[in-house]
Structure 1
């Protein structure tokens, strides 16, 4: 149940139309961070962390939106407000960036923090991260757009600043009045939809958008249209001449700066090839009352601004028409765009696109004169790496001029095309302001545009249905797909939304699949991979399980002695590349790669042994570094018949040990060192330190992995966060397996035990667990055994041991 407040009706809180639509987009977005909003604030001094934490908790206690989850219950998207949520701050610190540029590292960290998971179903949907690189400080405020819009973030930063000032001065955090709960606004929206208050505006929009087609920039690249596709942010400062032109046109036409910019954009698009009928998406604040202007929540709406722009029109005439169109649009802006979109004919919906390809918004002075208590703050460029639409441009006032940020789909547009659009817009504003009676037809632009997206390729019905497996579920999916989209799927892996679907038709498709009494399809699970094949899987009759792939990897073929190596904790066969280079070229060297999710040394040893047996291989030498040495030992213990000789490279003996939960941070530091050594990074490469989070000892795994990914990218060794996450989870699983592993031996086979960090007592424990043992110390640390000059000594010891073991064998 939602928390009840004075003035709020009892019962569940329905999500607004825009929240519901955004929830759907989140589920199917390629990159689910696409609707994260991060304000990246540079501050010139460190903040009082304890005081800021108190201020942040006060904000979460004060505002419903910061305690709201957005969940799907039955067929409705609902807001659930927690009575209280205890929050804290997160922190990333890099004491010495070493060879990394501090500004680059700060930007990369911000991008990783921004991309950190934030699921609508799990409040709080807001977090603060303090970042320090050397002596430079930033505060990152990240929220999910489903609960807060840009206007609300500005309000939040203002109140947070007041609260922080109070804590700095030793005062209690207080405000003159309680805020209006967002649930009140959400219930009002539901009532307006139910009682017909939107009917007049819906009629206006149906008439205003009849036959409209969105203006679309001609793409440079073949990327698919998809929310959450790869994106980039470009910040642009309009010229002083363009700023003067905005002022002159606003004065001449009695228009707002946004109407001037909208009119100029319409001129550019019309001249670029979109034709005289120009339609673009406009994001409005949708806050028409003083109460709504003070509301912390998500009220913003999308409207479509449509204009007729002829070559004989003057710049002043187009701006005046944009002014009048804006007033009409704002009169009817209360109806959520998804409701408007759903009320339009199918042909118009297809021509407009879902979402709108081009989005414009005007932020006024938002983001200027920012402070956190007494500390001035500067709003830096957004760190988003995903795109909501083809292009989304926000313009705001700053330092007496105008700045713009364009978020664009990098799979469809090059930066040069985005810059061309901005330069064309700058020129129209500058020259049109200097000469308001100049005609539209006199402008030449570099931008290329059209009206409406290219129609989806025609599907050959026979070709489309032919390759699909003949099963009842496949045919059921094809029939439902055809009914909803008007034609069968092009193939089993076509994306529903790329084929012309939207959130409304997705529900229709799922309903069609369950109409004959079949079990309901979990639409959320399907949205992550919206293909026909996935639908069949969810219907319960997918492809047959694929046989597990062999873990055996051949590193080098050869007629000589056969050495088989097992990966270290969280490692891979590639970690042995330096050792491989030092071994004789005629040696045969194979390796085992990790088999996911096997939780014990015994289970891994059985799997790796089975794959060797399946290949008919009995290695002469069986070994590994660190955790790999333990697995190799168990593999030798399991051998029937001739046993391989063992090579144990600085591996802890199998005696078991305790693994305290609060040492996870120390284990992550060791994992970081492993990664640095594997990449052969210099000792001064940046090593981030992360604190804060819900996990043991305040460790935030995702933040730590993101900070590590940022530090590696900053020294030109980029490793995707997802890959680091896979390695880290493997490392944790292996460390736990190692801690639990006990084997008293003895295993009757010769063994070479290389010691670097091993104690003498540990070498003795190994000697008691093998046959003839040869121990050798190497002058390096645990990580250096496979790297640097020490690997030459290790290889020499292995070569000599192989000779002795062969003579004995």
Structure 2
């Protein structure tokens, strides 16, 4: 990601614990002048939501969302915020077609706002089905056999006094607060369902080691193979490398969380640890929507899984793309990928941005299309000329979050 703003500072502000003091950082401000002030309620609302989403002090009615640093992920957040404020629906496509506040305001439905539907707790059936995202991961687990492909590991280094028992209790608080962290999968007549277990304690152990041995220990712990039927999809290991020097490894299976979950997970763990270290239980200021309730609402709203649509679109697509490889393709994937870094110069980056603007798409869409065209070219065009078959093998993940109140929930909402 290219940063939308670069703000020079004389020094990095730190808290008393030596951490980055985000509250003391100066606000990011665009060098672009603010255009005219809003003239009607729709423009005022959108100016406020643009500024909030983009982290700006002020946005004018003639300002362009993408010129101010917006991208597709922030576009999703903006649409969600508009829905939460008004109950009115706008599509992402509409924002791309009309990224200027005044233009977008003309697309906001008129009339009384509809109260947004909340994913509140409701009576649950005896068996809660898996969400589409959970079902994909469960299927892969059963199809591929025991594996650690969808493990998510995060290591955090602590310098200074750290009390183990309050940390252990705080991890238990996470289990109690987020049902997804204590959800396993059970089958009934061949169908998988969510089983929400009691918050009996997150698997947690401590290890005394050295800095030299730490990387190998972290790698070994991160390769743990979860049993989705019998094990909680989360565990933690605290490594002590020296007095008052610790590294906490938090390991989750993707079926319980996604990248968006890291924010609420870190905030809740910090809140709980501070409370437990003071001898208290955490006093939460809000109650997160539980993933089981979201699943039921999602399936009730849209029971169609899209299988028929994609079976029709991908009919005739090759199972394996015949690329001109320099070595034989292994019969079984080892799931060991590689990252190949490269740099696009500023001039090319600017041209890509202009292309995205003129085609009313995002930079990601332009680059995605370029990769598809490249694959079509290197396969000598032996597949469909319109690249549908090639596009079918380009897997991407996107956050499927649609409700603002889900932002505090640890969950798996990725749409692949």
Q: TM-score range by the shorter chain?
A: 0.5 to 0.7
Q: Is structure 2 residue 194 aligned with structure 1 residue 82? A: no
Q: Is structure 2 residue 235 aligned with structure 1 residue 127? A: yes
In the other structure, the counterpart of 2:396 is 282
Find the partner of 2:368 among 236, 240, 262. 262
Find the partner of 1:271 among 368, 371, 377. 377
Structure 2, unaligned runs of 5 or more: 1-119
Q: Kindly provide the CA deviation profile for residues 24-47 of structure 1, in whole angstroms up to 9, marking residues without a partner as x.
A: 321343651112111233445564
In the other structure, the counterpart of 1:53 is 168
Find the partner of 1:231 among 315, 336, 355. 336
**Secondary structure, aligned partner of 2:379:** helix
Give me the whole-angstrom Cα distance separating, in 2, the residues matched to 1:139 and 1:262.
36
Give me the whole-angstrom Cα distance separating, in 1, the residues matched to 2:204 and 2:187.
29
More helix by share: 1
Tell me if the contact between 1:118 and 1:144 (Cα under 8 Å) persists in the aligned partners. Answer: yes
Evaluate the alpha carbon distance shift between residue 210 and residue 162 of structure 1 in structure 2; reply closer, same or farther with a 3 A threshold.
same
Alignment of 1:198-347 (within 5 A): 198=304, 204-213=309-318, 215=321, 217-226=323-332, 229-234=334-339, 236=341, 238=343, 241=346, 247=353, 249-273=355-379, 275=381, 276=385, 277=387, 278-279=390-391, 280-302=394-416
In the other structure, the counterpart of 1:140 is 249
Evaluate the alpha carbon distance shift between residue 204 and residue 76 of structure 1 in structure 2; reply closer, same or farther with a 3 A threshold.
closer
Q: Kindly provide the CA deviation profile for residues 201-250 of structure 1, in whole angstroms up to 9, marking residues without a partner as x.
A: 556545543444475654444354546x2515537475564766665554
Q: Kindly provide the CA deviation profile for residues 401-431 of structure 1, in whole angstroms up to 9, marking residues without a partner as x.
A: xxxxxxxxxxxxxxxxxxxxxxxxxxxxxxx
**Secondary structure, aligned partner of 2:397:** strand
Structure possessing the higher relative contact order (Cα contacts under 8 Å, 6 or more residues apart): 2
Q: TM-score, normalization: structure 2?
A: 0.59
Q: Is structure 2 residue 163 aligned with structure 1 residue 23? A: no
Tell me if the contact between 1:35 and 1:144 (Cα under 8 Å) persists in the aligned partners. Answer: yes
Tell me if the contact between 1:85 and 1:124 (Cα under 8 Å) persists in the aligned partners. Answer: no
In the other structure, the counterpart of 1:583 is none
Q: Is structure 2 residue 267 aligned with structure 1 residue 158? A: yes
Tell me if the contact between 2:121 and 2:289 (Cα under 8 Å) persists in the aligned partners. Answer: no
Q: TM-score, normalization: structure 1?
A: 0.32
Evaluate the alpha carbon distance shift between residue 247 and residue 55 of structure 1 in structure 2; reply closer, same or farther with a 3 A threshold.
farther
Q: Kindly provide the CA deviation profile for residues 156-208 of structure 1, in whole angstroms up to 9, marking residues without a partner as x.
A: 22322333344456664122221112111222344456xxx528x55654554
Evaluate the alpha carbon distance shift between residue 35 and residue 47 of structure 1 in structure 2; reply closer, same or farther with a 3 A threshold.
same
Tell me if the contact between 2:322 and 2:379 (Cα under 8 Å) persists in the aligned partners. Answer: no
More strand by share: 1
Tell me if the contact between 2:202 and 2:234 (Cα under 8 Å) persists in the aligned partners. Answer: no
Q: Kindly provide the CA deviation profile for residues 572-628 of structure 1, in whole angstroms up to 9, marking residues without a partner as x.
A: xxxxxxxxxxxxxxxxxxxxxxxxxxxxxxxxxxxxxxxxxxxxxxxxxxxxxxxxx
**Secondary structure, aligned partner of 1:91:** strand
Give me the whole-angstrom Cα distance separating, in 1, the residues matched to 2:246 and 2:366.
37
Tell me if the contact between 2:121 and 2:293 (Cα under 8 Å) persists in the aligned partners. Answer: no
Give me the whole-angstrom Cα distance separating, in 2, the residues matched to 1:235 and 1:133.
32
Q: How many residues align?
A: 286
Larger radius of gyration: 1
Q: Is structure 2 residue 206 aligned with structure 1 residue 91? A: yes
Q: CA deviation at 1:148?
A: 1.9
Give me the whole-angstrom Cα distance separating, in 2, the residues matched to 1:106 and 1:57.
25
Tell me if the contact between 1:38 and 1:140 (Cα under 8 Å) persists in the aligned partners. Answer: yes
Tell me if the contact between 1:71 and 1:77 (Cα under 8 Å) persists in the aligned partners. Answer: yes
Evaluate the alpha carbon distance shift between residue 216 and residue 40 of structure 1 in structure 2; reply closer, same or farther with a 3 A threshold.
farther
In the other structure, the counterpart of 2:62 is none
Q: Kindly provide the CA deviation profile for residues 747-791 of structure 1, in whole angstroms up to 9, marking residues without a partner as x.
A: xxxxxxxxxxxxxxxxxxxxxxxxxxxxxxxxxxxxxxxxxxxxx
Q: CA deviation at 1:129?
A: 1.5
Give me the whole-angstrom Cα distance separating, in 1, the residues matched to 2:131 and 2:121.
20
Evaluate the alpha carbon distance shift between residue 292 and residue 269 of structure 1 in structure 2; reply closer, same or farther with a 3 A threshold.
farther
Tell me if the contact between 2:324 and 2:378 (Cα under 8 Å) persists in the aligned partners. Answer: no
Tell me if the contact between 2:264 and 2:407 (Cα under 8 Å) persists in the aligned partners. Answer: no
Q: CA deviation at 1:115?
A: 1.2
Give me the whole-angstrom Cα distance separating, in 2, the residues matched to 1:262 and 1:51.
46
**Secondary structure, aligned partner of 2:396:** strand
Tell me if the contact between 2:178 and 2:409 (Cα under 8 Å) persists in the aligned partners. Answer: no
Evaluate the alpha carbon distance shift between residue 239 and residue 82 of structure 1 in structure 2; reply closer, same or farther with a 3 A threshold.
same
Give me the whole-angstrom Cα distance separating, in 2, the residues matched to 1:250 and 1:139.
42
Q: Kindly provide the CA deviation profile for residues 252-311 of structure 1, in whole angstroms up to 9, marking residues without a partner as x.
A: 544334323323322432333363513112222211232444442222222xxxxxxxxx
Q: CA deviation at 1:134?
A: 5.1
Evaluate the alpha carbon distance shift between residue 106 and residue 125 of structure 1 in structure 2; reply closer, same or farther with a 3 A threshold.
same
Structure 1, unaligned runs of 5 or more: 303-809
**Secondary structure, aligned partner of 1:10:** coil
**Secondary structure, aligned partner of 1:90:** strand
In the other structure, the counterpart of 2:294 is 185
Give me the whole-angstrom Cα distance separating, in 2, the residues matched to 1:161 and 1:24.
34
Q: CA deviation at 1:68?
A: 0.7
